Amino acid sequence: MCIRDSKNYLMLSQFFVLSARGDTIINRDFRSDLIKNTPEIFFRHVKSFKGDAPPIFNIDGINFAYLKRSGLFIVGTTRFNVAPSFILEVLVRMTKCIKDFCGVVTEESIRKNFVLIYEILDEMIDFGTPQLLATESVKHLIANEPITIDGYKPISYRPSFLMKDTISSTAAFRPVSVGDQSKQKNEIFVDLFEKISVLFNSSGFAINSMIEGCIQMKSYLFGNPELRLALNDDLVIGKSATGNLGSIVLDDCNFHECVNFSEFELNRTLKIKPPDGEFTVMNYRITNDFQAPFRIFPYIDEVSSYKLELLLKVRACYPKDITASHLVIKFQVPKVTSSCHNELVKGAKDQKVDYNENTKTVQWTVKSVPGGVELTLKTKISLTSNANSYNARKEIGPISTNFEIPMFNVSNMQIKYLRVEKQEKGKDQLKWIRYITQSSSYVCRT
């Protein structure tokens, strides 16, 4: 992307990165038209909110816009009336470019690569005006080599059932090469992510459900050759479209600018000219009925006028050879609770239940959940002497669930093949494809 305009509504005055503690890690003043303590003003204002501050706000004539990534605040300031969508898009592209060069955006990686990051910023922004906002446009102008971060572990869980020759999920967090590519592996990583939102009623039936999916790539292929990526033949776009029984129906979808989808309607094939770094090939959304990976069944019993008992059953509705990880279930208990006792079934492994007296919250954590199993938790709640059990039971819940399921997707969207159009002789190309399903808003009413 190249933007050349002298008008003030495209001007960015400052760019800085703050840690979660408010320490300034990166600070670049492009125009010297604002006061120097804007990072302190920004951090004090953001911390004054109980929750998250709005992404754009104005203080004493200074417009602040920020993103939050890995606990870091990535901030842009301007005194001009810049379009909010424009300044946020600039911050997103700057963050993506930094991530492509550094591999990851963390406090450690930014501190170790601060010289490289300042060089990137100077090439991307000229006197506050965005010039080059794509990795491939900046790459040939960068002289410094990135310093890689050893021991970085992403949130993704790598289950034990994967074969020994399966590459670690940390491999996709390597930086793009700016020097000699002969030492770099000729490979490409493809991730099919799906985030699920489901609302269950108290009987365990889904009231509302949605899948938000995307296909992401990170290419280390020499010369960025053209790729062909094929999806399911039974893919149907639009809820009003007609397809065979069992077809995958997407409500809508969109593609990256590097994707040629001229053959997509014919054979569900995409032609891709991959840019340097990470990019999203395709976004899609599904609101049709689908099999939720977890079914939640809450049963509340009034034992006496001052005692309640919650029996919570969670059923894993996916194949037995699939294992979910980091299952976390949270729910509120009544404010008039005097004590709360949680019981797991005998022989329960890798499970932990915590009760927070201050927030009246129960958190049930399960390290791994194989498909087809049913988990059970019994919570015994004692109320204060002046409490009413009938009214108190209404304060139990809702039950929220977080999880991740590697090598599984709910929609059955599949990558049939990924081919390199022109393969150079003597240079083997490695293609790594994985599927990840995560919870977005997974809630059950009680």
pLDDT, residue 2, reads 42
Specify the pLDDT at position 220.
83
Percent of the chain with pLDDT over 90: 65
- Taking the C-alpha atoms of residue 268 and residue 230, their distance in angstroms, rounded to an integer, is 6
Contact between 239 and 251 (Cβ < 8 Å): yes
pLDDT in tens, 359-418: 999 999 999 999 999 999 999 999 987 888 888 989 998 999 999 999 999 999 999 999
Q: Provide DSSP, 405-417.
A: EET--TT---EEE
Q: What pLDDT, in 10s, does the model give residues 270-328?
A: 999 988 888 999 999 999 889 999 999 999 999 888 899 999 999 999 999 999 999 99
pLDDT-derived band of residue 135, with 50, 70 and 90 as boundaries? confident
* Spatial contact of 218 and 187, defined as CB atoms under 8 Å apart: no
- What's the chain's average pLDDT? 87
pLDDT mean over 182-206: 88
Position 9 scores a pLDDT of: 59
Q: How far apart are the first and last CA of the chain?
A: 50
pLDDT for 176 equals 66
Give the 3-state secondary structure of residue 279. strand
Mean pLDDT of 29-52: 92
Q: Which of 24-38, 186-200, 299-313, 378-392 has the lowest mean pLDDT?
A: 378-392
- In the block, which residue shows the tokens 């491999």? 171
Range of lowest pLDDT (7-16, 119-128, 230-239, 393-402):
7-16
In this prediction, residue 241 carries a pLDDT of 62
The model's pLDDT over 419-433, given as tens digits with 9 standing for 90+, comes to 988 776 666 788 899
Average pLDDT (39-50) is 94
CA distance 238 to 69: 33
Query: Which range is least confidently modeled, 92-101, 165-174, 204-213?
Result: 165-174
Burial of 220 (0-12, 13-18, 19+ CB in 10 A): buried
- φ, ψ (nearest 5 deg) of residue 165: -90, 10
- pLDDT at residue 239 above 80? no
Query: Please, which residues have CB within 8 angstroms of residue 24's CB and are 6 or more apart in sequence?
Result: 16, 17, 18, 39
pLDDT band at 165 (very low <50, low <70, confident <90, very high): very low
pLDDT at 224: 82
Q: pLDDT tier at 156 (50, 70, 90 boundaries)?
A: very low
